[in-house]
């Protein structure tokens, strides 16, 4: 599992990176599959990511993550000892 953290303090760079990721996701057929983190608590966000990963989604964009949510996803990443999710890429956009 690979996690890319995008910090909104670099607003112009973050917007450009989000556009790039959205373009790639559209090419891969993942259009409209963005997760909006503010709708979930930390544990709920991890559960949503687990469901999407088990459903075959390999690239996930998560908008407006809190510090706690980022930490929960990083902890989940560290639990993947067997490498079952090696090809999963999660882009976390941290809210200001």
* CA distances to 36, 46, 73 from 83, in Å: 26, 17, 15
φ/ψ of residue 5, rounded to 5 = -100, 125
Residue among 28, 30, 94 at smallest CA distance from 63: 94
Q: Are 85 and 14 in contact, with CB atoms under 8 Å apart?
A: no
pLDDT tens string for the chain (96 positions)?
Answer: 999 898 866 556 667 777 777 787 788 776 657 898 999 999 999 999 999 999 888 888 898 899 999 999 999 999 877 878 889 999 898 886
| Overall domain count for the chain | 1
Q: Can you give the pTM of this predicted structure?
A: 0.80
Q: Which domain holds residue 31?
A: 2-94
């Amino acid at each position: 599992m690979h996690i890319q953290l995008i910090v909104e303090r670099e607003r112009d760079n973050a917007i450009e990176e989000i556009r790039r990721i959205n373009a790639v996701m559209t090419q891969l057929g993942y259009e409209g599959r963005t997760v909006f983190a503010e709708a979930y608590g930390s544990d709920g966000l991890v559960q949503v990511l687990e469901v999407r990963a088990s459903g075959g989604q390999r690239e996930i964009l998560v908008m407006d993550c809190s510090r706690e949510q980022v930490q929960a996803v990083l902890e989940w990443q560290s639990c993947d000892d067997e490498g079952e999710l090696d090809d999963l890429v999660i882009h976390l956009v941290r809210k200001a």
